Structure 1
Amino acid sequence: MAPAGLLAVCGLLCAWAVAEQPCSLDHQGWADCSEKSLLHAPSSLPRNITGLDLSFNSLVVPQRGTLLMHFPSLHSLNLSSNALRTLHPAVFSNLRELSLLDLSSCSITYLHTDAFKGLKNLQTLLLRNNSLQELEVPLFLPLRSLLHLDLQNNALMSVDTLTLQLMEAIPWVKLYGNPWVCDCAIYPLQQWLKHRQAMRVTCVSPSELQGQDITTLDSWEMGCQKSQRFPRDVSPAQQTTATNNTTAPPLGKGGRSWPYLVGFLVAAISISILVALVAKCKLCHKNFASYRHRPLPETSSIGGSPLEEGTGWDRGSSGWGDSENPHISSVTGLHAEDDDGFIEDNYIQPSEQLPEEEERESHISI
C-alpha cells in the first residue's frame, strides 16, 4: 500500500479511537456496525469508508431522499436482517460506486421500480429470504452492470417474459425456494431455465407436481394443450409469444375470429343478391324481346289478300303497269301463278274434276 494510503488509514483509526464510536473500523476502510440496535447510520463515521455493515439493526428507511447520504464512496453495503419492508424511489441514488448490496432477510414485500436508481455499477444484488411476489420490468433497467442476482426463498409464483428477457443479461441468477406454480404460464420460465442450465428449481403446486424439477416437466403435465419445440436461437420472448398465441387464448372474448365470420356472411349474402339480380335482369330481357314480335297479317278467304287484288288490277289494265313498273308486274305475275297452283291443288275437289275429264275423253273420241 502506498504511504499516502497508510497515512489515511492511520488517520481514520486514530479519529475512530478518539470518538469512541460503537462501530469497529478495520484498516481496509470497512466499518462494522452490526447488532447495535441502530435506527440510522452513525453520522460520525468517516465519509471515505468503502464498506459498511449495518445488519441486524432497526434501520428506518426514509420515504424520500437517500438512506446513506454521507457515504458516497461505499463499494459494499450490508443491510440484511433489517425490517425494511418497502424500498422507496432513489433510496440508494447517491451510492454511485456501490458494487455489492445485501438486502437479505429484510421482510421486503414491495420494491419500487426506481428503488435501484443510480446504481449503475452494482454487480451483486442479494434479495433472498424476503416476501417478494412479483418483479416489475423497470426494476432492473438501471442495473446495467449486474452479474449476480439472488432471489431465493421469496414468494415468486411466476415471472413474466420481459423480466426473463432482462435477466438474460445477468450471468448468475438464483431462483430456488419460491412457490412456483407449475401450470402453462410457467412454460417461459421452463425454457429459460433449460437455456441457462441454472440450478434445480422445483414446483410447489399443484400437489401432484410438488417437488418436481420444472425443467423435466412435459407440456401436458403443466396443462398446456400441446408441446412446442423451438430452435436454440429463438429468444424466450419469441417462445412465450408463440406459446400464448397457441395455448393460452384470452378468456371471455371469444377470440378474434368473429370479424372473419361476419365478413364471410356479408360476402355470401352480397353474392346471392347479385346472382338474383342478374337472373332477374335476364328474365326481364327475355320477356321484353318476346313482346317485340308482331303477329303476321291474317289473309281472308273471302276478300283475298291485298297482293291478289293488286295483281288483278294490273291484269285488268292495258299494259300501263308493265311499261311503267315492270318489276312490280313480274312480281305480281309470279304470285298469281303461285296462287293459281295453290288453288288447283287445294281447292278443286275430286267431284268437280270428274265431269271435266269425261268431257275431254268424249271430245277425243269424236
Structure 2
Amino acid sequence: MAPACLLRVCSLLCAWSVVTGHPCSLDRQGWADCHGKSLLHAPSSLPSNITGLDLSFNSLVVPRHGTLLMHFPSLRSLNLSRNALLALSPAVFSNLGALRLLDLSSCSITYLHRDAFKGLGNLHTLVLRNNSLQELEVPFFLPLKGLFRLDLQHNMLVSVDALSLQLMEAVPQVWLEGNPWVCDCTAHPLQRWLQRRQAVQVTCASPPELRGQEVAALDFQDLGCQMKQRFPRGVSTAQQITVTHSNTTTPPSGKGGRSWPYLVGFLVAAIGISILIALAAKCKLFHKNFASYHHRPLPETSSIGGSPMEDSSGWDRGSSGWGASESHPMPGAADLQAEDDDGFIEDNYIQPSEQLQEEEERELHFSI
C-alpha cells in the first residue's frame, strides 16, 4: 500500500513539472523563486511580466556576448548571488532598463568591464560585497546615474583613484568596509572622502603599525606623505620652512633647489661686464698711442731768429744788455739760417705762442 502511495506522489510531481515547465515557484506579486535549483540558465518558460527573480545558489553561465536574461524586460529586482560569475561581459544587463535592485554578492567577481552595467540608468541598489575586485575603473560608474546604494564590502580593494571617488560623491550610501586598504600617501584622497562622509568606518590593513586604525582619523605624518599647506600672509618664510608634514628627514622644498639658474645668470653677467671693461680700456690705450705718434711740421717763420735760451742768457750776463752784446758778439743771420735748415724743431712740444714771443724779442734786440 505504501509503495503505491509513493508512486502516486512522484507521478503527481512529475506531472506538475511537465505542466508548469520550470522548477521555480511564483507568487501573486510577480516574484519568481528559483533559489538553489542548480540552473545553468534562467528558465525561458517563466512569464515575461515577472518583476522579481531570485537565481541565487545556482551555476549560471554568463554569455560572453549578449544579455543574460533575454525575456524579462519588466524585472525590477534580480538576485544573482552565490553564482560563480567571475567576470561580467559588456552590456550583459542592457535589456533590463527597469531594474532597481541588483545583487551580485559572493560571485567571485574579479573584473568588471567598463560597460558591464550599461543600460541600468534606473538602478537604485547595487550589491557587490564578498567578491575579489581589486580596482574600480572610472567608466564603471558612468551608466549608473540613479544609483543610491553601493555595497563594496569585503573585496580586495587597496586604493581608489580620486576620479572614482569624485563619481561616488553622487551616491548617498556607500559601504567600503572589509577591504585591505593600504594607508600610505595614495590613501589621502580616500581619507578626505571618508572625512566628508563621517558615517563610513574604514580601517587600514597595512602597514602593520597602522592595521586596524581608521583611515579618516589618520594625519599626514601617519600616511607618510608631504602635503602642501597654505600659510597666512603674516607668517614668515623661516616659519614656513620649519613646518613639515612628513615623519622622514626630507629637506624642505623651497626656492633652494631652484637657485642654480640665478647663479648661472650672475656668472654670465659678470663675465660679460669684465669683457666690456677690457675692450674699453684697450680702445683708450689705442687712441693714446695713436695720438703720441701723430707728428706734423712746424711753420718756417722761426728760421731767422735764435733760441730763447741764448737770448735770455745774453741779457743776464752783464749789467746792461748792450755791454753783453759787445763782449759776446751775436751770431750772424747766415749761421742762424744754417742751423734751422732742417725745417723742424727737435722738441715737438714747443707751442706756436712761444715762437711768436721769441720773434718779438729778436726784433727788439736788433732795434736796440
Could you say whether these structures have the same fold, taking a TM-score greater than 0.5 normalized by the shorter chain as the test?
A: yes
Report the CA distance between 1:215 and its aligned residue.
1.0
Alignment of 1:200-239 (within 5 A): 200-226=201-227, 228=229
Question: For the structure 1 residues 229 and 35, does the alpha-carbon distance in structure 2 shift closer, same or farther, using more than 3 Å as the test?
Answer: farther
* One-letter identity of the residue aligned with 1:183: D
Q: Distance in 2 between matches of 1:224 and 1:163?
A: 21
1:77-156 to structure 2, matched below 5 A, reads 77-156=78-157
Instruction: Indicate conservation of the 8 Å contact 1:218/1:227, yes or no.
Output: no
Partner of 1:353: 318
Matched residue of 2:205: which SS? coil
Query: Following the alignment from structure 2 to structure 1, what is the Cα–Cα distance between the partners of residues 289 and 321?
Result: 51
Quote the residue 1:67 is aligned against.
68
Counterpart amino acid of residue 33 in structure 2:
D
1:308 maps to which residue?
Answer: 302
* Cα deviation, residue 296, structure 1: 8.3
Residue 123 of structure 1: how far off its partner (Å):
0.9
Q: Given the alignment, which residue of 258, 278, 281 partners 1:280?
A: 278
- What letter matches 1:118 in structure 2? G
Q: Take 2:106 and 2:149, find their aligned partners in 1: how far apart are those partners?
A: 17
| Amino acid aligned to 1:43 | S
What's the counterpart of residue 28 of structure 2? 27
- AA at the equivalent of 2:133: L
Q: CA deviation at 1:55?
A: 0.3
Residue aligned with 1:204, SS:
strand
Instruction: Give the superposition deviation at 1:307.
Output: 3.3
The CA deviation at 1:354 is 6.9
Question: Does the 8 Å CA contact 2:21/2:45 hold for their aligned counterparts?
Answer: no
Specify the alignment match of 2:351 in structure 1.
Answer: none
Q: Distance in 2 between matches of 1:356 and 1:271?
A: 72
- CA 1:229–1:187: 2 relative to 1, 3 Å: farther
CA offset at residue 219 of structure 1? 1.0
- Where does residue 9 of structure 1 map in the other structure? none
How far apart are the structure 2 equivalents of 1:278 and 1:229?
Answer: 46
Counterparts of 2:94 and 2:65, CA distance in 1: 11
Q: Identity over the aligned pairs, expressed in percent?
A: 57
Distance 2:128 2:51 in 1: 21
In the alignment, the residues of structure 2 paired with residue 260 and residue 353 of structure 1 have an alpha-carbon distance, to the nearest angstrom, of 90
- Supply the distance in 1 between the matched residues of 2:322 and 2:65 (Cα, whole angstroms): 147
- Per-residue CA deviation, residues 22-73 of structure 1 (Å, 9 max, x unaligned), is 1011111110101000000000001111110000000000011000011111
Larger deviation: 17-26 or 91-100? Answer: 17-26
Which ranges in structure 1 are unaligned for 5 or more consecutive residues? 1-14, 231-245, 249-254, 313-335, 360-366
Task: Name the TM-score, length of structure 2 as normaliser.
Answer: 0.70
| 1:264/1:16 CA distance change after superposition, 3 Å | farther
SS in 2 for 1:220: helix
1:230-269 residue pairs with structure 2 within 5 A?
Answer: 267-268=265-266
Deviation at 1:357, TM superposition (A): 10
How far 1:19 sits from its partner (Å)?
1.4
**2:56 is matched with which residue?**
55
Q: Give the superposition deviation at 1:292.
A: 2.8
Equivalent residues of 2:93, 2:116 under 8 A apart: yes
CA distances 1:230-254 after superposition (whole Å, capped 9, x unpaired): 9xxxxxxxxxxxxxxx989xxxxxx
Aligned to 1:192: 193
Q: In 1, distance between residues paired with 2:270 and 2:188?
A: 48
**2-structure distance, mates of 1:89, 1:65:** 8
Cα distance between partner residues in 1 of 2:92 and 2:321 = 146
- In structure 2, do the counterparts of structure 1 residues 115 and 355 end up closer, same or farther at CA, with 3 Å as the change threshold? closer
Superposed, 1:293-304 pairs within 5 Å as 293-294=291-292
Worse overlay, 268-277 or 146-155: 268-277
CA deviation profile, 1:277-313 (whole Å, cap 9, x unmatched): 42233123212311331458799xxxx984321x55x
Q: Which moved more, 1:62-71 or 1:198-207?
A: 198-207
Partners of 2:56 and 2:229 lie apart in 1 by 47
Query: For 1:35 and 1:229, how far apart are their aligned partners in 2?
Result: 59
Residue 66 of structure 1 aligns to a residue whose secondary structure is coil
State the shift of 1:218 in Å. 1.4
Cα distance in 1 for residues equivalent to 2:202 and 2:131: 17
Confirm or deny: 8 A CA contact 2:17 2:23 kept in the other structure. Answer: no
The residue identity in structure 1 corresponding to 2:123 is L
**Aligned partner of residue 52 in structure 1, secondary structure:** strand
Distance 2:189 2:29 in 1: 45
1:171 aligns with 2:136: no
Distance 1:305 1:135 in 2: 107
* Contact map agreement 1:80 1:104 (CA 8 A) in 2: yes
1:298 and 1:39 map into 2 onto residues whose CA distance is 123
Instruction: Name stretches of at least 5 consecutive residues in structure 2 with no aligned partner.
Output: 1-15, 232-243, 247-252, 325-368
